[in-house]
Structure 1
Amino acid sequence: MPMDYTETARAAADTLLSYSKEQDGWRLCKKSGDVAVYWRPSTEFTGNLYKGEGLVAAKPELVWECLKPEPDGLRVKWDSNVQDFQLLDTVTDDTTICRTVTPSAAMGIISPRDFVDVVMIKRYEDGSITSNATNVEHPSCPPQRHFVRGFNHPCGCFCAPVPGEPEKTKVISFFQTDLSGYLPKSVVESFFPYSMTQFYNNLSKAVQSLHV
């Protein structure tokens, strides 16, 4: 049976929307300026689900330009955790299959990874623009030498308008990633909050450079 990529992506989007509405059970693990990172045990795998929240000083459409999951997009230029981003397949106008390559991290303890995901772009009535992704298999991209194949469980970003402040965007990000391989739990649990804080700092700088 071929995988129903659209249905898989839609389910991931529904899951992320439910995460964005859930207030209970989150524990703060890192705060840096306007950015807060929370965690709770994942219900998808044995690791954690992380939520980042931060304000970016620009309109949602401009912030979205920096976050948009597309090859040759801005994300590869500013996001230190994305070394390469490849389009493998187009499913519909708003749903694609992509491969993301990440560099080594945590002073080399985490070796380069690659991830194959179905990604759905959704817009909501409140003006939010969202990317919603989860791991899939695709015949064009089996596991490859030199990369550990990791698995993203439902993850993504919300660019939400801030009522009364048109020049600001609330960015909510969700990460729940099985890095695979043999990694100490302590390394993984310190890596995500740190890298998510960096994600917001780098995003803000990227948006400001567009804004000027």
Structure 2
Amino acid sequence: MTELRSKYSKEIQDAKSVVTELLLESDDQWKMCKEWANGSVYYRKSPSMSGHIYKVVFELNIGLEKSIQSIYPAPRGFREKWDPNLERSVILKEDGESWLLLSVTKPAMSGLIAGREFIDLLTLDRLSLSRVIASGKSVEYPEIPKKSELVRGYNHPCGTLWEVISGNQVRISVMYHSDIGGRVPRRLVEKALPSVMQSDVEALLNYLKTL
């Protein structure tokens, strides 16, 4: 076991266990709260924080590997090219299919809501030739202290499931399980989240049309 996996072995296992169980469940185990032509948003009560877990489900017709790259930031993917909320991301440490990632989001509402930063441990597992799952959660990383201009958020176990339907058609389920910190009431965050998730999917689809 290498350094990153050894240091964070419990966090890796905790995230993998929760994410695999929840994302491999059928949609019937979740409640739908939004549906449109290109996708659906579901939610269920969180076992680890006040509020709910959300997932958005949609399809891409670009093959499995490119679908994986579409969700992840550089150098693992190309999320920065389409995500209007992502300021930057940096891989702090890397260990095979596990990596420690710093993500910084842009301020919202003309600066009334400060930008957020997250330090997450992510792991990619290939369950089969047609099914891949990524799991992650926030971890402590003293080497990067909190900054006054940013709010340090915390991601509870979250992740993404990619499932090949046929040919290049891939079904993607992205699970959001975040405490964004700060003073924004949780009810306001949850009220906005389904529309934010829809906007993310549409931004990705619009970007893919330009390729």
Note the 1:39-118 alignment, pairs <5 A.
39-71=43-75, 73-90=77-94, 92-106=95-109, 108-118=111-121
Q: Counterparts of 2:64 and 2:84 in 1: how far apart (Å)?
A: 22
The amino acid of 1:205's aligned partner reads: N
State the match for 1:4 in structure 2: 7
Q: 1:5 to 1:209 in 2, by over 3 A?
A: farther
Q: 1:201 to 1:108 in 2, by over 3 A?
A: same
Cα shift at 1:108: 4.4
Q: 1:187 to 1:130 in 2, by over 3 A?
A: same
Cα shift at 1:143: 1.2
State the match for 2:171 in structure 1: 170
Query: What secondary structure is seen at the aligned counterpart in 2 of 1:183?
Result: coil
Cα shift at 1:112: 0.6
Query: What secondary structure is seen at the aligned counterpart in 2 of 1:44?
Result: coil
Q: Give me the TM-score of the superposition, normalised by structure 1.
A: 0.88
State the match for 2:161 in structure 1: 158
Aligned length, in residue pairs: 206
Cα shift at 1:88: 1.3
Q: Counterparts of 2:186 and 2:172 in 1: how far apart (Å)?
A: 27
The amino acid of 2:174's aligned partner reads: S
State the match for 1:138 in structure 2: 141
Give me the CA root mean square deviation: 2.1
Q: Calculate percent identity across the aligned residue pairs.
A: 26
2:130 matches 1:127: yes
The amino acid of 1:52's aligned partner reads: V
> Cα deviation per residue 1:157-177 (whole Å; 9 max; x = unaligned)?
122101xx3121101000010
Query: What secondary structure is seen at the aligned counterpart in 1 of 2:128?
Result: coil
Contact persistence 1:6–1:95 (CA under 8 A): no
Cα shift at 1:107: 5.5
Query: What secondary structure is seen at the aligned counterpart in 2 of 1:124?
Result: strand
Q: Give me the TM-score of the superposition, normalised by structure 2.
A: 0.88
Cα shift at 1:58: 1.9
Cα shift at 1:21: 2.4
